[in-house]
């Protein structure tokens, strides 16, 4: 198949991990007979430096015309002044809104070979396989804001339609998994959460085969560390989802391991690792590219409907995590390029296996 993929390397380690992920996509195209065209554009601090805007018009137009968008990271100390009128994060928020990617999928699994890196005991990590579905284009991040010398406000607003569409996405995903949804809110205090809970409960009636439970966000933060294996699909609003998924990432041993997919109504998606720009290691060639490579697997699966190719990428990453080399954040000393090359070598073998399986089925 043919596909146009926009890459947005961004800031910090973003260019390094994005380059590794593009190499994996190029290998997938060569192995499986696809034609992927890549179009690189500016976003975040790099875009501010070059154009004065965190999301230039040319970048947005290219993203809107693409089949999928692959993002590295945005932000860094250079642009961290909270009083600055233009900040890198504004570009990412604007892009999410413009693309209408309202559901952020963040899968969490604890790799057996890396369990020792988790702060939890091994018995707590057994069977951890959670899919977070974070509402991405509403809530406090997008509400009206005010600030004076004496006070500040951030409006948190949700509509029934916004809650319903992300809830339906969560229930549909749960149907293909273990058929259990946990909805996280703060309905004992917040009116937005009361609307959220009422709407999710109503949507649940259309999915009688999927169990629903509600959890308050503060108790959920505790339960993720004490009983992580009991959860299947977790759906929540924007701010809560941002916090809970970073907390949950600690279970896997490193932020550098985890991917994400931001999806809307169609097949187009925005894919990025959940880690930030890591300015302290930027340019040193030691960033872990695994989270970005696994984001490529999500891109293949959700935007291009290439599930066998996605499985081949995931199998290659699994092989490298089991046998090495490993980057520094997960106990090794390999650089970005060494991990990339190991994934590419494993992908070559995994691609052979999947192609043989496809021929056997045919």
193-214 pLDDT tens trace: 999 999 999 999 999 999 999 9
Query: How far is 53 from 85, CA to CA, in rounded Å?
Result: 10
Is residue 124 pLDDT above 80, yes or no? Answer: no
The model's confidence at residue 113, banded by pLDDT at 50, 70 and 90, is: confident
Residues 107 and 134 sit within 8 Å (Cβ to Cβ): no
Please give the average per-residue pLDDT across 142-170, as a whole number: 96
pLDDT digits (tens, 9 = 90+) for 218-251: 999 999 999 999 999 999 999 999 999 989 888 8
pLDDT over 70 for what percent of the chain? 97
Please give the average per-residue pLDDT across 301-307, as a whole number: 97
Query: How far is 196 from 193, CA to CA, in rounded Å?
Result: 5
Please give the average per-residue pLDDT across 24-49, as a whole number: 98
Which is higher by pLDDT, 357 or 61? Answer: 61
Is residue 186 pLDDT above 70, yes or no? Answer: yes
Is residue 355 pLDDT above 90, yes or no? Answer: no
Mean model confidence pLDDT for the chain: 94
The model's confidence at residue 107, banded by pLDDT at 50, 70 and 90, is: very high
Beta pairing partners, 337? none
Instruction: Give the model's pLDDT for residue 227.
Output: 92
Query: How far is 360 from 95, CA to CA, in rounded Å?
Result: 42
* Residues written for the chain: 362
Token digits of residue 212 = 């629903």
What's the predicted TM-score (pTM) here?
Answer: 0.92
Token digits of residue 97 = 């809104």
Please give the average per-residue pLDDT across 143-168, as a whole number: 96
The model's confidence at residue 126, banded by pLDDT at 50, 70 and 90, is: confident
Q: Which of 118, 129, 124, 122 shows the shortest CA–CA distance to 226?
A: 124
Q: What is the CA radius of gyration of the chain?
A: 20
The model's confidence at residue 360, banded by pLDDT at 50, 70 and 90, is: low
Pairing of strands 35-40, 211-216: unpaired
Is residue 358 pLDDT above 60, yes or no? Answer: no
Is residue 361 pLDDT above 60, yes or no? Answer: no
Query: How far is 85 from 179, CA to CA, in rounded Å?
Result: 45
The model's confidence at residue 24, banded by pLDDT at 50, 70 and 90, is: very high
pLDDT over 90 for what percent of the chain? 85
Beta pairing partners, 134? 104, 236
Which DSSP string corresponds to 277-342?
A: --TTTTTTT----HHHHHHHHHHHHHTS--HHHHHHHHHHHHHHHHH---BGGGT--B-HHHHHHH
Residues 135 and 163 sit within 8 Å (Cβ to Cβ): yes
Please give the average per-residue pLDDT across 335-350, as a whole number: 94
Please give the average per-residue pLDDT across 16-28, as a whole number: 98
Cβ neighbour number for residue 9 with a 10 Å cutoff:
25
42-58 residues labelled b (16+ CB within 10 A) or e (exposed)? bbbbbbbeeeebbbbee
- To the nearest 10 degrees (0 to 180), the angle between helices 336-361 and 290-302 is 30
Instruction: Give the model's pLDDT for residue 112.
Output: 85
Pairing of strands 269-273, 259-263: antiparallel
Q: Which of 326, 347, 350 shows the shortest CA–CA distance to 24?
A: 347
pLDDT digits (tens, 9 = 90+) for 306-315: 999 999 999 9
Residues 54 and 26 sit within 8 Å (Cβ to Cβ): no
Task: Give the containing element (helix H, strand E) for 174.
Answer: helix 160-175
Q: How far is CA 173 from CA 76, 132, 180, 314, in A?
A: 34, 10, 10, 19
pLDDT digits (tens, 9 = 90+) for 269-298: 999 999 999 999 999 999 999 999 999 999
Burial of 311 (0-12, 13-18, 19+ CB in 10 A): middle
Is residue 305 pLDDT above 60, yes or no? Answer: yes
Instruction: Name the residues annotated as catalytic.
Output: 141, 186, 218, 242, 246
Query: Roughly how many angstroms between the first and final C-alpha of the chain, as a whole number?
Result: 18
Query: Sign (positive/negative) of CA torsion 129, 253, 184, 192?
Result: negative
Pairing of strands 180-185, 211-216: parallel
The model's confidence at residue 156, banded by pLDDT at 50, 70 and 90, is: very high
Instruction: Give the model's pLDDT for residue 115.
Output: 82
Is residue 146 pLDDT above 60, yes or no? Answer: yes
Instruction: Give the model's pLDDT for residue 134.
Output: 97
Please give the average per-residue pLDDT across 134-154, as a whole number: 94
Which domains are delineated in the chain?
Answer: 1-110+255-362 (3.40.718.10), 119-252 (3.40.718.10)
3-state secondary structure of 132: strand
Instruction: Give the model's pLDDT for residue 250.
Output: 83
């Amino acid at each position: 198949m043919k596909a146009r993929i926009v890459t947005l390397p961004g800031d910090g380690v973003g260019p390094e991990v994005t380059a590794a992920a593009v190499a994996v996509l190029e290998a997938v195209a060569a192995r499986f007979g696809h034609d992927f065209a890549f179009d690189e554009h500016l976003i975040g601090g790099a875009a501010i430096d070059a154009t004065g805007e965190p999301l230039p018009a040319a970048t947005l137009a290219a993203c809107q015309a693409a089949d999928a968008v692959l993002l590295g990271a945005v932000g860094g100390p250079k642009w961290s002044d909270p009083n600055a009128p233009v900040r890198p994060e504004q570009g990412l928020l604007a892009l999410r809104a413009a693309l209408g990617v309202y559901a952020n999928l963040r899968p969490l699994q604890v790799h057996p070979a890396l369990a020792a890196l988790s702060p939890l005991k091994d018995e707590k990590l057994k069977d951890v396989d959670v899919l977070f579905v974070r509402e991405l284009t509403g809530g406090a991040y997008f509400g009206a804001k005010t600030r004076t010398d004496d006070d500040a406000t951030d409006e948190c607003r949700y509509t029934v339609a916004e809650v319903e569409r992300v809830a339906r996405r969560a229930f549909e995903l749960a149907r293909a998994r273990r058929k259990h949804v946990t909805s996280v809110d703060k309905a004992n205090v917040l009116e937005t959460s009361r609307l959220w809970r009422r709407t999710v409960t109503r949507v649940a009636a259309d999915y009688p085969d999927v169990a629903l439970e509600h959890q308050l966000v503060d108790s959920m933060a505790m339960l993720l560390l004490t009983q992580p294996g009991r959860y299947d699909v977790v759906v929540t609003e924007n701010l809560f989802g941002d916090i809970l998924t970073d907390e949950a990432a600690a279970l896997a041993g490193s932020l550098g391991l985890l991917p994400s997919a931001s999806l809307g109504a169609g097949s187009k998606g925005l894919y990025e690792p959940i880690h930030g720009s890591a300015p302290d290691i930027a340019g040193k060639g030691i960033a872990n590219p695994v989270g970005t490579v696994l984001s490529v697997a999500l891109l293949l699966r959700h935007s291009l409907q290439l599930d066998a190719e996605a499985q081949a990428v995931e199998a290659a990453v699994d092989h490298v995590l089991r046998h090495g080399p490993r980057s520094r954040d997960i106990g090794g000393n390999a650089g970005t390029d060494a991990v990339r090359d190991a994934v590419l070598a494993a992908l070559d073998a995994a691609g052979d296996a999947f192609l043989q399986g496809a021929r056997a089925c045919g």
